[in-house]
Chains A and B, each alone.
Chain A
C-alpha cells in the first residue's frame, strides 16, 4: 500500500469518525431532558472526533516520510551485500541511490552492477518500514478517534475547540508566507556572507569595474564592482521608465477620475488593468524586436552613429509602459480619495476643472501619488525579463540612453545560467546582488506604504 492510498484511508476513517461522533452527540441530545443541556451541536462533535482521528495520524505520516528513508538505508546497509560496496563516499552514494530507485520501480536497469545486489535488501527494508508506518498510522487514527469519541459528553465544549482549530489553521496559512520570506532572506544572507568572505563588500558596493569572468578565485581580486549595475538599474528603472510612466499614468488617472464619462471609465479601467497582467516576457519581445531597432534607426538618423541595438532607452520606455497601470491606479485611488467637498469648494470659487485639478486635487493627492510612484519604482528595479531581452549585458557607466547598459537582475540571470560551480565568487555574486535588490525594494515598499497610510489617515 502506498502513501496516497494510506492517506485516503486515513481521511475515510476520519469521515467515519465524524459520523460516529455526530451520532453519539445526537443520541445525547435526544436523551437530554432540557434544551441546551448539550453544549455543542452534534456537527461539532462529529468534527471533533474526525479531527482527533486524522490530524495526529497525518502529522505522524509526514514525520515518518522524512525519517524513514534514512532508516531504510541503514537497514539495507546491515545486509551482507553491503560489504562489497566501495568505501569512497561519492561512488557509494550513487550506488545506493541507484539501488533505491530500482527498488522503488523508478528505474529498471542498473549502470553499476553492484547496485543490483543492493536492490533486494532495499526492497525488504522498504516494505518492512512501510508496514510499520502504515500500522502505526492506522493505530493512531483508531486510538485518537476512540479517545475523542469517549470524551463526547453533554458538557464537552466541542464548538469552542473547533473554533480554535479553525483559528490555528488560518494562522498557519498566514505564517507560511512570512516564514518563506524570512527563509529567502536568510538564505540570501548566508550565500552573500560566503561571497563577501571572498570579495570585500567595499569593492563590491563601490567598485566601478564589473567583469566577473576575469576572476579566477584568489581573495581580493577586483572585477566585482557593482556600481555600473546599480547605475544601469537606476537609469532604466527609476529614471527612463518613470519619465514615461509618471506623466502618462498621472494624466490617465486624472482623465479617468475627472473627465471620462462613466461608460468610458467602465471600459478603460479594466483595459488598463489588463495591461498590468501582460506577462513581462511579452513586453520583452516588444522591447527587443520592435522598440529597440526603431530607436536605433531613429538615433542613427539624427546622427548618433554609435547607437546600440540594445539600448537603455528601449528597455526603459517599454518598462515605463508596463508600469503605467500601477501609477495610474494608485493615482486614481488617491485622487478619488480627496473629499469631493474640496473639489466643490474650488469649483464654487469659479475655478475651472483643470485649475481645480492642478491647484487643489493634485496637491491634496500628492502623498498618495508619491507612494504609488515609489511602489512602481520598486517594481521596475526588480523587473527582469524586459532588461534581459532589451538592455544588453555591457556594464557601461553612461548617461547616454542610446547605449547599452546592464542591470542587477540581468547580471543575476547571467551569473546563474549555464553550468556553474556553487562555491565560486562568480556564482555567489548573484546572491549578493539579489540581497542588495531585496533590501532596496523592501525599503522602498516600506516607505511607500507608510506614506500612503499617512495620507489615508489625513482624510479619514
Chain B
C-alpha cells in the first residue's frame, strides 16, 4: 500500500511530534501518507499521514490557520480550484490514488461529498437543490425516482418534515440552520461514501448546531465523516477519533476520549485546556 512505516500510538517521530495514523479496527476508507500542501512558496501542510475509518466520525481540531481545512480540501481535491495550491504525498480512497493522472475528479467528488462552513444553497428551489447532484450524475431514471431520492435525502438530513410542503420555495429563503441541513441533504443525495464537513456549524446558532450534531450522529456509519471544527466540545460530542493540527503538522491523532482526557503531547494538552489557540 505504501512504503511508510506504520507508526504505533504514542511513538516518537523524527520531527518530535507524535502521530498515530491508524484509525483503529477495520480497513481504512481513506489513507493519507506524508501529505504536503504548498500555496506558491508557502508550505501549509507538512507531512501529514492519517487514516480515516468508515465507522467513525473523525474530527480535525486546532487553532486558526493550522491547516486543518486545507488538509480536508485535499481529500476531495477541492484545492484544485486554487491555482497556486500544490499537493504532494499519497491520498488514497479504497486503495486508489486520488491524485493519479487517470483519476476523474468529477467521480471522486461524487464519492467524497463536502459541506461548507457557510451554508451555500444554490439560488434554486429546495427540490432543485437536492436534485442537482442526481441530475448531473444521471442517478435517477425518471421523475418518480428523482422524487424518491429528494425525499429520502431530506429525510436523512432531518429536513423533510419542515420543507415537504414547500419544495418549490427557494433554498436561500430557509433559515441558516435549515440551509446547512439542506446542504447536507444535497451532499447525501448523490450517495457519497465519505462526507467532509468544513466547520459546518460555525455560522449557526446553538439550537441549529445541536440539530446538525444530532444529524451527524444519525448518519454516522452510513458514510465516513470527517469534520473540521473550532469547537472542542463539538469534537468531543460528535467524533470518535480526533486529530490535532498545529502549524501545518499533525500533532496527535487518536481516540477522541483519550485526546481530551489524556493527551500524550504537551501542545495538545495546552490547546484543549485553553492555554492558547
Contacts and interface: CB of A to CB of B under 8 A. Distances in A.
Contacts of A113: none
Given A363-B123, A364-B123, A349 B113 contact: yes
B110 A345 contact: no
Contacts of A359: 122, 132, 136
Contacts of B110: 349-350
Nearest to A347: B81
Contacts, number: 66
B128 to A, nearest CB: 9
A348 B110 CA distance: 8
B76 interface: yes
Interface string A324-360: 0000000000000001011111111111100100011
Given A262-B83, A341-B116, A346 B132 contact: yes
B137 interface: yes
A341 B190 contact: no
Interface string B90-118: 00000000000000001111100110101
B68 interface: no
B78 A351 contact: no
Nearest to A340: B81
A363 B137 CA distance: 20
A345 B120 contact: yes
B106 A352 contact: yes
Interface in B125-140: 132-133, 136-137
B183 A350 contact: no
A349 B183 CA distance: 10
Interface string A177-211: 00000000000000000000000000000000000
Contacts of B124: 363
Interface string A120-158: 000000000000000000000000000000000000000
B106 A350 contact: yes
A387 to B, nearest CB: 39
A261 B132 CA distance: 28
Q: Size class of B's contact patch?
A: 20 to 34
Contacts of A363: 123-124
Nearest to A262: B83
B246 interface: no
What secondary structure prevails in chain A residues at the interface with B? helix
Interface string B126-159: 0000001100110000000000000000000000
A358 to B, nearest CB: 10
B116 A350 contact: no
B187 interface: yes
A341 B122 contact: no
Contacts of B109: 347-350
Contact of A351 (B113, B116, B136): B136
B106 A342 contact: no
B203 to A, nearest CB: 11
Contacts of A262: 83
Contacts of B33: none
B186 interface: yes
A84 to B, nearest CB: 85
A339 B122 CA distance: 10
B136 A348 contact: no
Interface string B153-192: 0000000000000000000000000000001001100100
Nearest to B134: A349
Contacts of B190: 349-350
A359 B137 CA distance: 14
B72 to A, nearest CB: 11
A259 to B, nearest CB: 11
Contacts of A341: 116, 118, 120
B179 to A, nearest CB: 11
Given A262-B83, A341-B118, A344-B81, A349 B123 contact: no
Contacts of B113: 348-349
Interface string A252-265: 00000000011000
Given A262-B83, A341-B116, A359-B132, A346 B122 contact: yes
Given A262-B83, A363-B123, A349 B133 contact: yes
B123 A348 contact: no
Contacts of B136: 349-352, 355, 359
A355 B106 CA distance: 11
B83 A349 contact: no
Contacts of B81: 343-344, 347
A346 B187 CA distance: 10
A352 B133 CA distance: 11
Given A349-B186, A363-B124, A344 B106 contact: no
Interface in A345-392: 345-352, 355, 359-360, 363-364
A352 B136 CA distance: 9
Contacts of A343: 81
Nearest to A364: B123
A419 B107 CA distance: 74
Interface in B52-111: 76, 78, 81, 83, 106-110
Nearest to B135: A359
A345 B118 CA distance: 10
A346 B136 CA distance: 10
B74 to A, nearest CB: 13
Contacts of A345: 116, 120-122, 183, 186
B56 to A, nearest CB: 21
B48 to A, nearest CB: 21
Contacts of A350: 106-110, 133, 136-137, 190
State the 6 A-B residue pairs at the shortest beta-carbon distance, nearest first.
A350-B110, A348-B114, A341-B120, A350-B109, A345-B120, A349-B133
Interface of B: 76, 78, 81, 83, 106-110, 113-114, 116, 118, 120-124, 132-133, 136-137, 183, 186-187, 190
Given A261-B83, A349-B113, A360-B122, 18 more contacts: A341-B118, A345-B121, A346-B132, A348-B76, A348-B78, A348-B109, A348-B114, A349-B136, A349-B187, A350-B106, A350-B107, A350-B190, A351-B132, A355-B136, A363-B123, A363-B124, A364-B122, A364-B123
7 contacts: A341-B120, A342-B122, A345-B116, A347-B109, A348-B116, A363-B123, A363-B124
